[in-house]
């Protein structure tokens, strides 16, 4: 770098549920002084709004008709990521099992994806130092020109064990089945499915600690920055 001022760096982290996207992305952003965007939280927030407003989530036409209504705002500090819908803090209610079970149907609707993708691009464009954006289609669709693309994977067993450690009272088998169902829905939808970009670096986290995954991604970002 000629003048010592770091150029913004855009990092896309995609993968199925429980592979470590959120924990890794937050830590990498915090370590490198970047912003952070959890795009799953945005899809959960619009799903929460649909459910709260009595929209039939099995009716894509009804969802499409109101997809532009909720005002979703994401705070991008990795130490304190926030999310509001029409000014209401929804950080807790978007994590219920009800919303988790409905989010794939809502996020498959093209009008919902168009709306949320536009939001994501404007957040990324406004991040002065750069940003780590995590989701399912960031490297393929939302930010295809990202400086670095990571695709995290892990066995279904490891992912279910991690998730059921968070959800007290839910057994690993039930969690595993729910994860597999959601991955299948997210991977098979027509618009912007969960997929690895051709130029993404795949990291299998099954046998890695979270600290190892973070270190691996930080090193890859630093290499990209040095080459810029």
Pick out the residues of the known binding site: 15-23
> Out of ligand ADP, ligand CDP, none, which partner does residue 78 contact, by CB within 5 to 8 A per kind?
none
**CB 154, min distance to ligand ADP, A:** 7
**CB 46, min distance to ligand ADP, A:** 18
**CB 217, min distance to ligand ADP, A:** 11
d(CA 114, CA 127): 21
- CB-nearer residue toward ligand ADP: 162 or 189: 162
Question: What would the DSSP string read from start to end of 16-75?
Answer: STTSSHHHHHHHHHHHHT-EEEEHHHHHHHHHHHHHHTT--TT-HHHHHHHTT-S-EEEE
d(CA 116, CA 79): 23
Q: Which two tokens stand for residue 153?
A: 């994977």
Residue ranges at the known binding site for ATP: 15-23
Q: Give residues with Cβ within 8 angstroms of 167, minimum separation 6.
A: 97, 175
- 102 interacts with ligand CDP by CB under 6 A: no
- 137 interacts with ligand CDP by CB under 6 A: yes
By CB under 6 A, name the one of 44, 102, 115, 162 that touches ligand CDP.
Answer: 44
Closest CA to 205 of 158, 166, 160: 158
- HSE of 153 in the Cβ direction (CA atoms, 13 Å)? 9
Q: Rule CB under 6 A: which of 147-176 touch ligand ADP? A: 162, 165-166
- 205 interacts with ligand ADP by CB under 6 A: yes
Pair type for strands 148-153 and 35-38: unpaired
By CB under 6 A, name the one of 28, 67, 143, 186 that touches ligand CDP.
Answer: 186
Q: Rule CB under 6 A: which of 11-40 touch ligand ADP? A: 15, 17-23
- Name the site residues for ligand ADP (rule: CB under 6 A): 15, 17-23, 162, 165-166, 205, 208-210, 213
């Amino acid at each position: 770098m000629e003048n010592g001022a770091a150029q913004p760096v855009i990092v896309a982290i995609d993968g199925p549920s429980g592979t470590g996207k959120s924990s890794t992305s937050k830590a990498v952003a915090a370590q490198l002084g970047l912003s952070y965007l959890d795009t799953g939280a945005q899809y959960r927030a619009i799903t929460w709004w649909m459910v709260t407003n009595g929209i039939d989530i099995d009716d894509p036409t009804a969802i499409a008709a109101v997809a532009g209504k909720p005002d979703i705002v994401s705070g991008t500090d990795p130490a304190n990521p926030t999310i509001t819908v029409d000014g209401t803090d929804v950080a807790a209610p978007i994590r219920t099992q009800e919303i988790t079970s409905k989010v794939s149907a809502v996020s498959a609707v093209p009008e919902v994806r168009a709306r949320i993708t536009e939001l994501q691009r404007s957040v990324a464009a406004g991040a002065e130092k750069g940003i780590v954006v995590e989701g399912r289609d960031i490297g393929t669709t939302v930010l295809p020109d990202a400086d670095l693309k990571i695709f995290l994977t892990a066995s279904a067993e490891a992912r279910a064990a991690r998730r059921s450690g968070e959800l007290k009272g839910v057994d690993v088998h039930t969690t595993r089945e729910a994860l597999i169902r959601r991955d299948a829905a997210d991977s098979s939808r027509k618009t912007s499915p969960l997929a690895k970009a051709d130029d993404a670096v795949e990291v299998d986290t099954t046998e890695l600690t979270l600290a190892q995954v973070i270190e691996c991604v930080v090193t890859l970002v630093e290499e990209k920055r040095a080459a810029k």
